[in-house]
Amino acid sequence: MVKQEKESANRPDNTAFTQQRLPAWQPMLSAGIVIPGFVLIGLAFIGIGVALFVTSRGIQVLEIDYTGVEQNSPCFPCTDENRKNCVCNVTFSIDTLFEGPVFFYYGLSNYFQNYRRYGVSKDDYQLSGDLDYFKAPSDSCSPYEYDKNNKPIVPCGSVANSMFNDTFKLFQIVNGAKKQVSLDGKGIAWWTDYNIKYRNPSVTPLKTAFNGTVKPLFWSKPAYELDPSDPANNGFINQDFLVWMRRAALPNFRKLYRRITDGDYAEGLPAGNYTLEVSYNYPVLSFEGRKKVVFSNVSWMGGKNEFLGIAYLVIGSMCVFMSIVMLIVYAKFKFPEED
């Protein structure tokens, strides 16, 4: 009797939902549905692919390698590691208007930011402004946790220590004179990085928070001097620092350096001759890397990416081709039986 009562208590309610008696619909995939469906999907993909491909081809991109490996390169003298504060000038010309807004990137190749031990070599608590971790950095920062005098490094870790430090100035040559192109560095980092993930300590002046610490070994100046003229772009919320800390997934990558959106160049870079002044600091030859700058504009689909349009075209063409194959097979083996 007790056993029957327990079974009754565990039994689901006698409803259409619990007893799985709800009405159901199962599609019957006949040739009259599948073949037209493949055709429509294929045509849709082909249309999207054409739009993406044509748009991508219309995006202007200019890449300039300034590694300095070749002896005739203007940056070749700067590859000497014993030479400090080296500046080289790279000249180039633009034949037609480079429509704005123009995005200015720096690019690195053969650089594996996705390496696991490199990626975890940072202290998120320190980067969020926690002063306790200024004095005692996380073990994950090793070997860039303390300097040889056992002083804590802030910011610690391999990612921060290897921050890209080449700087650029762009000039247009007008009647033999240099006219500097204004470069806008505001808002180039992710909003979440700037407003949420990375924070400066709530200490004024900011320099006080770094007492008893040292800068990363490969940095020329401490974090509180990255942009002392603008507190909203200094320390851990410096835009260039945030861009670098957002690691790339592939070994060949580019990161946003500046935008060209102001003044006489709001509509883009006019045709003419230009000089890029490079403060050459970042070494790449030791790991057979390359450095370049990239000028590009964007469209509604983003930056130049022909692969996406080609992928849509291939998938769409395959769908149309398979619909033709299925129609031939259906006509050959099914039509006579229905007659």
**pLDDT tens, the chain, 339 aa long:** 555 555 666 778 888 888 888 888 887 888 888 899 999 999 999 999 999 999 999 999 999 999 999 999 999 999 988 888 899 999 999 999 999 899 999 999 999 999 999 999 999 999 999 999 999 999 999 899 999 999 999 999 999 999 999 999 999 999 989 999 999 999 999 999 999 999 999 998 999 999 999 999 999 999 999 999 999 999 999 999 999 999 999 999 999 999 999 888 999 999 999 999 999 999 999 999 999 999 999 988 888 889 999 999 999 999 999 999 999 988 888 755 544
Output the pLDDT for position 188. Answer: 96
The residues, any chain, with a CB within 8 Å of residue 69's CB and separated by 6 or more, are: 76, 79, 285, 290
Please give the Cα distance from 214 to 211 (Å, whole number). 8
Other Cβ atoms less than 10 A from the Cβ of 39: the count is: 17
**Are 269 and 276 a contacting pair, CB within 8 Å?**
no
Please give the Cα distance from 197 to 190 (Å, whole number). 10
Output the pLDDT for position 285. Answer: 93
Please give the Cα distance from 304 to 62 (Å, whole number). 11
Q: DSSP of 210-252, one letter per residue?
A: TTT-B--TT-SS-GGGSSTT-GGGSGGG-HHHHHHHS--SSSS
Q: DSSP of 108-152, one letter per residue?
A: EES--TT-HHHHT-S-HHHHTT-THHHHS--GGGTTSSB-TT-PB
* 259 token code pair: 């935008």
The alpha carbon of 51 is separated from its chain's Cα centroid by a whole number of angstroms, namely: 24
For residue 205, the 8-state DSSP code is S
Cα→Cα distances 204→168, 207, 211, 250, Å? 31, 8, 12, 39
Model pTM score: 0.84
Single-letter code of the amino acid located at 292: K
Q: Measured at the alpha carbon of residue 236, what is the angle toward residues 234 and 239, in degrees to the nearest 5?
A: 65
pLDDT tens string 45-60: 999 999 999 999 999 9
Strand partners, 192: none
